[in-house]
């Protein structure tokens, strides 16, 4: 496999090391300072892998539309409008975007989607996420992913932390709390708090390697697929 890599942060460097160790090739890599050079590149790889920042999206979209190169993106922090731009690329190439590429997180998403509807009437829901002190966006993309599983209709009120005299907790709300510190790769816990009982689901990432392995596995599946937007859940669970 041949890749174009967008992003030279910790994830980008680890993807490059892992891909090369597996015998794959990084045809080109770009960071914020030289991303404009992507526009001078022709179709040079099997897949574009993007683990960068939301502001790189216009340049990436332009390249994918021009060359039809499949895109796998794990960039988080997109606005709703930027996500729509990303989805529009499905007319030009196979595109897979996911906030988290770990198998465990995919299974957690599926589990929450199953149990949330059963517990919601009587249980309060709170979500906590913990990441290293260098992470810039909050809540994390993975936390937002889990919120979609908990609240697919987007009809519940989201409360980001609490301060002061907030009054009684409403039944139709989900509390979201972001912790930042140290070198934590990522811990996400969903708390279901009911009358006289509690249920918790937790996913802990021991290192970024699980995200890298998952991303490279999915990237190998994209070449040759018809143009369109692909869903990690549907691919993993054969839907």
Catalytic residues: 131, 135
Sign of the C-alpha dihedral computed for residues 80, 82, 85 and 90 taken in this order: negative
User: 55 in helix, strand or coil?
Assistant: helix
CB-neighbour burial class of residue 163 (10 A; exposed 0-12, middle 13-18, buried 19+):
exposed
Backbone angles phi, psi at 236, to 5 degrees: -65, -40
CB-neighbour burial class of residue 189 (10 A; exposed 0-12, middle 13-18, buried 19+):
middle
Which residues make Cβ contacts (< 8 Å) with residue 2, sequence separation at least 6?
24, 25, 26, 27, 44, 45, 46, 47
The distance in angstroms from the start CA to the end CA of the chain is 25
Q: Cα 182 to chain center, whole Å?
A: 21
Instruction: Give me the DSSP letters along 135-158.
Output: --SSS-HHHHHHHHHH-TT--SEE
């Amino acid at each position: 496999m041949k890749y174009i890599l967008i992003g030279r942060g910790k994830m980008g460097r680890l993807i490059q090391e892992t891909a090369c160790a597996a015998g794959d090739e990084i045809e080109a890599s770009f960071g914020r300072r030289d991303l404009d050079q992507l526009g001078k590149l022709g179709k040079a790889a099997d897949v574009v892998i993007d683990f960068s920042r939301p502001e790189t999206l216009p340049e990436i979209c332009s390249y994918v539309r021009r060359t039809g190169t499949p895109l796998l993106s794990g960039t988080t922090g997109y606005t709703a409008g930027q996500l729509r731009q990303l989805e529009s690329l499905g007319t030009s190439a196979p595109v897979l975007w996911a906030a988290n590429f770990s198998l465990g997180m995919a299974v957690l998403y599926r589990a929450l989607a199953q149990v949330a509807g059963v517990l919601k009437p009587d249980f309060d829901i709170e979500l906590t996420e913990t990441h290293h002190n260098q992470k810039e966006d909050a809540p994390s993309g993975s936390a937002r992913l889990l919120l979609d599983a908990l609240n697919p209709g987007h009809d519940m009120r989201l409360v980001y932390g609490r301060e002061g005299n907030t009054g009684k907790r409403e039944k139709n709300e989900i509390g979201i709390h972001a912790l930042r510190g140290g070198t934590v790769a990522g811990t996400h816990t969903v708390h279901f708090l009911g009358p006289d009982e509690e249920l918790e689901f937790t996913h802990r990432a021991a290192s970024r390697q699980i995200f890298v392995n998952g991303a490279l596995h999915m990237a190998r599946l994209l070449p040759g697929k018809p143009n369109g937007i692909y869903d990690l859940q549907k691919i993993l669970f054969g839907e």
